[in-house]
C-alpha cells in the first residue's frame, strides 16, 4: 500500500455499492416485545460471568423503537445499501411453527422505510441468535436445525420476498462453530473443540436449503457472508508453517470450499476422512451457485505450532494464534494490517477462480474507545483504519478481483457480544443510557467518500 488516501485514487467501478451493516441482537433491544422468544444470546448474556460487566442486550441501541432514526442516518450517509439481520426468535419464537406476525410486521416496517429512503435492504437471515428452544433440542449439533431454518426462511420470504432484492443466508458460520461450540467464548457457550465440527456442516446445509427457498420464491439474488483472515505463520519453521495451513483450513477453507466448490478441504491431518455430519447429496445442496459472496474482514492472524500445555494442544489441535510483533492494534487488540485485506481478496480469486461470484465486503471496521466531547467524536484512528482498508479493497480491484460493494461495520455502536458495551465500532456514537445518536467524525469522512464516489458515476 502506498501513502495516498482514498481521495487521491481513481473512482471505484460504476455501480459499486456503499453502505453499513448491523445485526438484530446487537442493536434492536425490546427483547420481550411483540411476542419475540428467547435466543441463545439472551440466555448467554443473562448468565453471570459470560459477558463483560454483566451486560445484556435487553435495550442495546434501542433500534427496535428508533429504526426510523437509523434509516435517517443511512440517508444522511448517502448509503445505497443497508445490511441488517432478521431475528429468528422475533419471527418464530420457538424456532418452529407458524410465523409470529407482529415480528414480521416490524421487519416489514424496516424494509419499507429503507425503500422509501431509496436504500436497498440487504437482510441477513441468521446472525448467531438461534432460538433457545432449538438449542435445547441440540442446536447446530442437530441436523434438524438446518431443516427448521429452511422453514423459517420460507416464512420470511412469504412476507418480504416481494420487496427485498438480495438476501444473505448466514453470517460467519465459522465464528458460530469456533466461538460458540468449540471454544465456548460466545453463545451458546459449548467448549467441544473438534467435537464442534458438525455445527459447521449443519450451518452450511442450512445455507443451501435457504438458497433453494430463495430461488424458488422469485428473482432475488442470494449470497452468504463468511469471515476471512489472512493466516501468517509465526516463523518459517516447518511446524509453524504446517500449523498455519491447518488453521487456514478450519477457519477459512472449511466454510468457503463447500459453498464455492461443493467440496470440503482435506482434513486428514486432523484424523478426519469424512466431514462430521456429511450425508449423501448434502454438498450438492450446499454448493448451489450464488450471486455474490460476502466477505467480512477485520485483521490477519499469526499462528504457531501449539505449545505444550496450551488449551489447543490439550484438545489435539496443531496450532495456536500468537500476537504480531510491532503492529498497531484496535481497541479490541486486533492487529491493523491493511495489506492483508488485499491479500485475502486476491487469494480468494486465485483459489476459487470462476467458481467465485462477485464479492461484496459485508463487514469491515474497527473498535476504539470513543467519547463525545463538545458534541463531537474525533475518531481519527477509525478514519485511518477505514481509509487504509478501503484503499486495500481498491488495490484488490486493480489486481483483478471482482468486488461490487463495501459495507462498513457498523452503522451505530452496539452490544458487542461477549464484550458487552466495552467496544465501539459505530460510525455513530450511541449513548446507551439515553439512546441518543451522535455521528462521529468517521461518519462525516465516510459520507464525503460515498458522495465523491457516487458523483464519479452519476446514474
* Residue 454 exposed, middle or buried by CB count within 10 Å (0-12, 13-18, 19+): middle
Beta bridge partners of 292: 223
Residues 6+ apart with CB under 8 A from 29: 57, 58, 59, 60, 61, 62, 63, 64, 65
Report residue 383's pLDDT band, with 50, 70 and 90 as the boundaries.
Answer: very high
pLDDT given for residue 1 in this prediction = 36
217: part of which helix (H) or strand (E)? helix 197-217
Report residue 38's pLDDT band, with 50, 70 and 90 as the boundaries.
Answer: very high
Distance (Å) of CA 410 to CA 91, 173, 440: 24, 19, 12
| % pLDDT > 70, the chain | 98
Average pLDDT over every residue of 63-90: 98
Q: Could you report the per-residue pLDDT of 345-377, keeping only the tens digit for each?
A: 999 999 999 999 999 999 999 999 999 999 999
pLDDT at residue 5 tops 80: no
**Active-site hit among 28, 363, 416, 453:** 363
pLDDT given for residue 4 in this prediction = 45
Residues 6+ apart with CB under 8 A from 439: 73, 76, 377, 427, 428, 429
Long-range contacts formed by 249-252: CB under 8 A, 24+ apart? 250/178, 251/174, 251/178, 251/227, 251/301, 252/174, 252/226, 252/228
pLDDT given for residue 367 in this prediction = 98
Helices (H), 37-100: 40-45, 63-77, 88-91
- The values of phi and psi at residue 182, to 5°, are -90, -50
Q: Could you report the per-residue pLDDT of 331-341, keeping only the tens digit for each?
A: 999 999 999 99
3-state helix, strand, coil in the chain (%, to 5): 45, 15, 40
Average pLDDT, the chain: 96
Residues 6+ apart with CB under 8 A from 225: 124, 168, 170, 171, 172, 294, 295, 296, 362, 363
Average pLDDT over every residue of 59-65: 98
pLDDT at residue 202 tops 80: yes
pLDDT at residue 291 tops 80: yes
Q: Would you say 57 and 415 are in contact if contact means Cβ atoms under 8 Å apart?
A: yes
Report residue 318's pLDDT band, with 50, 70 and 90 as the boundaries.
Answer: very high
Average pLDDT over every residue of 384-402: 98
Helices (H), 318-414: 338-352, 380-398
Average pLDDT over every residue of 99-104: 98
CA dist., res. 189 & res. 208, Å (int): 25
CA dist., res. 46 & res. 239, Å (int): 41
Say whether 363 is catalytic. yes
Candidate from 24-38, 154-168, 308-322, 386-400 with smallest mean pLDDT: 308-322
CATH superfamily, region 6-456 = Glycosidases (3.20.20.80)
Q: Would you say 106 and 65 are in contact if contact means Cβ atoms under 8 Å apart?
A: no
Report residue 234's pLDDT band, with 50, 70 and 90 as the boundaries.
Answer: very high
Report residue 316's pLDDT band, with 50, 70 and 90 as the boundaries.
Answer: confident
Residues 6+ apart with CB under 8 A from 337: 230, 299, 300, 324, 327
Report residue 6's pLDDT band, with 50, 70 and 90 as the boundaries.
Answer: low
Average pLDDT over every residue of 176-181: 98
pLDDT given for residue 2 in this prediction = 41
Concatenated DSSP letters of 184-210:
-SSTT----GGGGHHHHHHHHHHHHHH
Report residue 309's pLDDT band, with 50, 70 and 90 as the boundaries.
Answer: confident
Select from 119, 115, 139 the least CA-distant residue to 129. 139
Beta bridge partners of 305: 319
CA dist., res. 36 & res. 156, Å (int): 15
Q: Within 10 A of 182 (CB to CB), how many other CB atoms are there?
A: 23
Average pLDDT over every residue of 91-100: 98
CA dist., res. 367 & res. 387, Å (int): 15
Distance (Å) of CA 395 to CA 2, 321, 366, 380, 392: 10, 27, 20, 22, 5
* Residue 28 exposed, middle or buried by CB count within 10 Å (0-12, 13-18, 19+): buried
pLDDT given for residue 8 in this prediction = 55
Q: Could you report the per-residue pLDDT of 238-286, keeping only the tens digit for each?
A: 999 999 999 999 999 999 999 999 999 999 989 899 999 999 999 999 9
pLDDT given for residue 11 in this prediction = 77
> Which cell numbers in the block locate residue 253?
477453507
Q: Is 265 left (phi over 0), alpha (psi -120 to 50) or beta?
A: beta
Q: What one-character DSSP code corresponds to residue 82?
A: E
Q: What one-character DSSP code corresponds to residue 39?
A: B
Return the domain boundaries, the chain: 6-456
Amino acid at each position: 500500500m502506498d501513502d495516498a488516501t482514498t481521495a487521491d485514487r481513481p473512482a471505484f467501478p460504476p455501480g459499486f455499492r456503499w453502505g453499513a451493516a448491523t445485526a438484530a441482537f446487537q442493536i434492536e433491544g425490546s427483547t420481550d416485545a411483540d411476542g419475540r422468544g428467547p435466543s441463545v444470546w439472551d440466555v448467554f448474556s443473562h448468565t453471570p460471568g459470560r459477558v463483560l460487566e454483566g451486560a445484556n442486550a435487553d435495550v442495546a441501541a434501542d433500534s427496535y423503537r428508533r429504526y426510523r432514526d437509523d434509516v435517517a442516518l443511512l440517508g444522511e450517509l448517502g448509503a445505497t445499501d443497508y445490511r441488517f439481520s432478521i431475528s429468528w426468535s422475533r419471527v418464530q419464537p420457538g424456532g418452529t411453527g407458524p410465523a409470529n406476525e407482529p415480528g414480521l410486521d416490524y421487519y416489514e416496517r424496516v424494509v419499507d422505510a429503507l425503500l422509501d429512503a431509496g436504500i436497498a435492504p440487504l437482510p441477513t437471515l441468521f446472525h448467531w441468535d438461534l432460538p433457545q428452544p432449538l438449542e435445547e433440542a441440540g442446536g447446530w449439533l442437530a441436523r434438524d436445525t438446518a431443516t427448521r431454518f429452511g422453514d423459517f426462511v420460507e416464512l420470511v420470504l412469504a412476507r418480504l420476498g416481494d420487496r427485498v432484492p438480495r438476501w444473505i443466508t448466514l453470517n460467519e458460520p465459522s465464528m458460530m462453530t469456533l466461538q460458540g461450540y468449540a471454544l465456548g467464548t460466545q453463545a451458546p457457550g459449548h467448549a467441544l473443540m473438534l467435537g464442534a465440527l458438525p455445527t459447521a456442516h449443519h450451518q452450511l446445509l442450512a445455507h443451501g436449503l435457504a438458497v433453494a427457498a430463495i430461488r424458488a420464491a422469485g428473482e432475488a439474488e442470494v449470497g452468504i457472508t463468511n469471515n476471512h483472515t489472512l493466516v501468517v505463520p509465526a516463523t518459517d519453521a516447518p511446524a509453524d508453517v504446517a500449523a498455519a495451513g491447518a488453521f487456514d483450513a478450519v477457519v477459512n477453507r472449511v466454510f468457503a470450499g463447500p459453498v464455492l466448490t461443493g467440496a470440503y478441504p482435506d482434513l486428514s491431518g486432523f484424523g478426519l476422512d469424512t466431514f462430521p455430519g456429511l450425508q449423501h447429496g448434502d454438498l450438492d445442496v450446499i454448493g448451489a451457485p450464488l450471486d455474490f459472496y460476502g466477505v467480512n474482514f477485520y485483521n490477519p492472524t499469526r499462528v504457531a505450532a501449539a505449545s505444550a500445555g496450551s488449551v489447543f494442544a490439550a484438545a489435539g489441535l496443531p496450532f495456536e494464534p500468537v500476537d504480531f510483533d510491532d503492529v498497531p492494534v484496535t481497541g479490541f487488540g486486533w492487529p491493523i494490517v491493511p495489506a492483508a485485506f488485499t491479500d485475502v481478496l486476491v487469494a480468494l480469486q486465485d483459489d476459487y477462480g470462476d467458481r467465485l461470484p462477485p464479492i461484496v465486503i459485508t463487514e469491515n471496521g474497527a473498535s476504539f474507545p470513543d467519547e463525545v466531547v463538545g458534541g463531537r467524536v474525533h475518531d481519527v484512528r477509525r478514519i485511518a483504519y477505514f481509509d487504509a482498508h478501503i484503499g486495500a479493497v481498491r488495490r484488490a480491484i486493480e489486481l483483478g478481483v471482482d468486488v461490487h460493494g463495501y459495507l462498513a461495520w457498523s452503522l451505530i455502536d452496539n452490544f458487542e457480544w461477549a464484550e458487552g458495551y466495552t467496544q465501539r465500532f459505530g460510525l455513530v456514537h450511541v449513548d446507551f443510557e439515553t439512546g441518543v445518536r451522535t455521528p462521529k467524525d468517521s461518519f462525516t469522512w465516510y459520507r464525503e467518500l460515498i458522495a465523491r464516489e457516487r458523483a464519479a458515476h452519476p446514474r
